[in-house]
Amino acid sequence: MEAASIPQTPTPPQRKLGDVLRDNSLWLIFGLVLVLLAIIDLKEQDNILPLANNIKDGLSVGTIWALIALGYTLVYGIIELINFAHGEVFMIGSFITVSLFVTFGLTEDTALFGLIIGMFAALVIAMLGSGVLNVMIERVAYRPLRGAPKLASLITAIGMSFILQNVGLLWRPTPDSAPDLIKSQVELFTLFGVDVVRSDVFAVAVTIPLLFALLYFVGQTKYGKAMRATAQDPDAARLMGIDVNKTISLTFLLGGLMAGAAGLIYALYNLTIQFNQGFTAGLIAFTAAVMGGIGNLKGAVVGGLLIGFVQQTVESRVDNGSAWAPAVVFAILVLVMVFRPQGLFGEETREG
């Protein structure tokens, strides 16, 4: 009797070098840019402190874009809609924050304990306010159009963006200053020759716990599993007893919470708020979400940090850099859409 033959596991086909390079093209370009900047700094100053400062500033600014980008990627991942009103939700979060600072009577002279309590309360209320606003937008503007062509939802999202922008214009028609509660430009420590100020630490300290909490919620809780099931196949999710409408509302709530937190960080980081800040911030955050892979939470975070680095590099190294930075960011968006539309980490959305 012949011994039973053991089936051989098929060997996966080897990937060609061209395919590997194409799939990692964005990473390669980013690496080459870092090397080029380091060479320029070494040639001009015999050190890479300018590059290190660009990275430090990019990380702190990038945390704001990352939080906003999470809202875009959450919503797109579950209903495949670009919520263009999300930038204005972030703007409303900033307005709520500054209004609460005034209401609570917080100033630079407030005692440390009162400052911590007041800022924490402002953070919670701003997050809740932005989250509830986002849920209301979904309930009033998007849910009735869920079965309509996607163009109808897209136009409605743009319309909601303009409505909220005009609300901001009525609320604060001129740019307002936020109180410098954290003394944002006070140096805390120096790391490898790079001065780290309070605003840098504050942005990272607020963002990191929120990111980990969101990743845990989406990845480990039953509500997060319901969100992922709805994103994969809403009809199958309904058959499994998942309330799809409530799950989508929860997704909008989470995105709004992140936008509200970003609004507070932005107000204390830049110390100026205005009614049209959400438009540019929304486009930058959308670029970050696309770069990381729309629908991918980790990709949105990495995309936000990379965009922050690009902005700070252009602003510090190019004449009139603050005017050129948005153009460079949107040029990157075009390049990403052309050469790698799925982003750095790939899309995590259902097949159409």
**pLDDT given for residue 23 in this prediction:** 64
Domain range summary for the chain, segments of one domain joined by +: 67-275
CB burial of 191-211 (b: ≥16 within 10 Å; e: otherwise) equals eeebeebbbbebbeebbeebb
Q: How many CB atoms lie within 10 A of CB 132?
A: 15
Top-confidence residue, 77 or 169: 169
Q: Please tell me which residue, 34 or 163, carries the higher pLDDT value.
A: 163
Confidence of residue 49 (pLDDT cuts 50, 70, 90): confident
Q: Residue 4 pLDDT > 70, yes or no?
A: no
Confidence of residue 9 (pLDDT cuts 50, 70, 90): low
Position 220 pLDDT exceeds 70: yes
Instruction: Report residue 148: phi and psi, to 5°.
Output: -85, 170
pLDDT at 12 > cutoff 60: no
pLDDT at 109: 83
pLDDT at res. 209: 93
- pLDDT digits over 125-157, tens only? 999 999 999 999 999 998 888 878 888 888 999
pLDDT tens string 203-216: 999 999 999 999 99
Examine the pLDDT at 267 and tell me if it is beyond 90: yes
Find out whether 125 and 95 touch, Cβ atoms under 8 Å: no
What CA–CA distances, in Å, run from 323 to 97, 132, 308, 327? Answer: 27, 34, 15, 8
Q: How confident is the model at residue 38 (pLDDT cuts 50, 70, 90)?
A: confident
